[in-house]
Structure 1
């Protein structure tokens, strides 16, 4: 990919705006619908290490989630 400095700036600006929009408009809806632990899983974030796996398992084991 051969992008100029201006084009790279536009890519990262667009990415930042999408992250902000998702955080404001879509994340609260996912949390309300599925709860915090399931909302995180719905975004595609998966455990990447042994420590993350332990935290993920403990969140799943919490009552009321």
Structure 2
């Protein structure tokens, strides 16, 4: 399932962890087959998510 199929399926928040880039993404607020909001943080930082979801701590995703 691609990123644009998730909003059409009614998925309110899509979190993507890209370990090679060291980045975490949160896509939210589905509109017209895509997400209206994109938040990007480096791994190790807190990824804010829209209410009612709690923020996601990404430090545990860092490779040793």
Pick the TM interval, shorter chain. Answer: under 0.3
TM-score (normalised: structure 1): 0.26
Q: Quick check: which has more Rg, 1 or 2?
A: 1
- Give the structure with the higher percent helix: 1
- Compare the two structures and name the one with the higher strand fraction: 2
